[in-house]
Structure 1
Amino acid sequence: MRRSSQMQIQPRWLSRVGIVAILLASLAIGSGQRSAQAANPPSDQAGISVNGIGYVAVTPDIAQLSLGVSATAGSVGAARGQAAEAMQRVQATLGSKGVAEKDIQTQYFNVQPEMSYDRGRGTVTGYTVSSQIAVTLRDIENTADTLDAAIAAGGDVTRVNGIRFTIEHPDKFIAQARQAAIRDALTHASQFAQAAGVSVGRARSITELGNSAPQPVPLAAAASAAPRDSGVPTPVNPGQLQLQAAVAVVYELQ
């Protein structure tokens, strides 16, 4: 009876050993495949990565002015009236110079008390009313004439807070800068490839690293109105703007 039981158990033991052996063999094969993959990375990892930068110089086609008035008087009503009259004259003059209403936008309006202090005690001595408008000049060649006329119209309460030049529609110039950036990247890739004794293939990926819109050129402006009796026009120079685009490109190698 004992011999018969042993004969029945032996096949089960052998089958378990066989299963373990198969599992170990499978693990060994899988490990070998992973080792082979690590030793031979995918071909799409091979290539050359370069950056390219493109520049485009552009002449501005619009000017943007920041004009304001600031009047001080003993009462809010008096100060507001002086400021309002001056601003009306400024805007009327801008209109006579061809500036459309849509190109004039109110940016700021403020009423502030003027204080006098004695031994820590404050006393209101008057009020200052200020307002500011943003003006877009599309006739850029007449910027100086328009600016001087607006200052003269507003009188001594006129304030010029800044002037800048920019481009109304920069998209086509940004596209040119991008094309220049791609050419620059290809030039760099070709130089590296030639040094390594290989050739540049097709571009596998292109990533834009950023582009800069036209940067306005600030022009220092007078804090208050220029003397109205001066016959010398205000010098205004639009200059040029520079747009930039940057890309990262991965090329295949041949």
Structure 2
Amino acid sequence: MPTHSARTILRWSMTLALAGVSALAVAGCDATPGGDSDIARQVTVVGTGEVQGVPDTLTTEAGIEFVAGDVTSAMNQTSERQQAVIDALVDAGVDRKDISTTQVSLQPQYGNPDASGSANITGYRAGNTIRVKVERDSASQVLAVIVRAGGDATRINGVSYSIEDDSALVRDARERAFHDARDRAEQYAQLSGLRLGQVIAISEVAGEAPPTPVGMPMPRAMASAPPVEPGQQTVSFTVTAVWELS
């Protein structure tokens, strides 16, 4: 049986052991990594930039249509007239690489239905459409050439404008977007009482307004060049950037 002294020593040993365990637990909590002071402060902002330029290129869809009693006549007349249009464009200085066929069509034409609801084929409608791209300054004259060569069979299916080389506008829009993002980040830094640090990440989204469409009638004949106005085209950029705050 343990003596009184032995029991006293045992009690003190257990007390010290428990105290040691408690101290280790507290120390472990204080040493937890990743405290708030170690978390990097960041700000993520989105900046936009837009620039406008005057389009320098016009694109038009020019079609030829004929209706005839049989397929061969309809197709032949359409093909011959469209070829005349193409030849006239080339003679006017349009590069052949800027002329492309976009549609060839042939559809039967029906008369009025009879009492039973059926209708007979009365002829065929043939169509041939080309896309022509020209410089803005020659656009009016080119449209006049198309109509003069195509005659009453001409169909102008609208025009659109674009910028052939917009690389300078893209650079300008990107720069404006970045400056806009930085201004926003600096404002947030000031509002939070911090300083703007280094850029951590940048991502961008380019956007460009589609070519400006200009509605055109489908003329039967045109004696003079029609007036056309290109207006302006917008090139835009959106930038998402992340900055450090200190």
> How does the TM-score come out when normalised to structure 1?
0.80
Give 1:227's aligned amino acid: A
Structure 1 residue ranges (4+ consecutive) displaced by more than 6 angstroms after TM superposition: none
Listed as ranges, the gaps of 5+ residues in structure 1 are: 1-20
Partner of 2:178: 182
CA displacement 1:48-80 (0-9 Å, x = unmatched): 111100111112121111111110011111111
Give yes or no for the alignment of 1:86 onto 2:81.
yes
Q: Distance in 1 between matches of 2:235 and 2:93?
A: 29
Question: Is 2:124 aligned against 1:127?
Answer: yes
Which whole-Å CA distance do the structure 2 matches of 1:240 and 1:226 have between them? 30
* 2:85 alignment partner AA: V
In structure 2, relative to structure 1, the CA distance for the partners of 1:192 and 1:73 (3 Å cut) is same
Is 1:57 the counterpart of 2:52? The answer is: yes
Matches of 1:105 and 1:157 in 2, distance apart?
19
Distance 1:100 1:31 in 2: 80
Instruction: Find 1:241's aligned residue among 216, 233, 238.
Output: 233
List gaps (5 residues or longer) in structure 2: 1-17
Q: What is the percentage of aligned positions where both structures have the same residue? A: 30
Q: Distance in 1 between matches of 2:65 and 2:29?
A: 83
Secondary structure of 1:218's counterpart equals: strand
d(CA) in 2 for partners of 1:73, 1:107 = 22
Cα deviation code 1:137-163 (max 9, x no counterpart) = 1x3101011101211210111111121
User: Equivalents in 1 of 2:190, 2:244: separation in Å?
Assistant: 14
Quote the Cα distance in structure 1 between the aligned partners of 2:110 and 2:38.
76
* Structure 2 SS opposite 1:174: helix
CA separation in 2, counterparts of 1:69 and 1:31? 86
Task: Name the CA distance, whole Å, in 2 between partners of 1:97 and 1:31.
Answer: 87
Two-structure CA RMSD over aligned residues (Å): 2.4
- Which residue number in structure 2 is paired with residue 151 of structure 1? 147
Cα separation, 1, equivalents of 2:27 and 2:173: 50
Aligned residues: 224
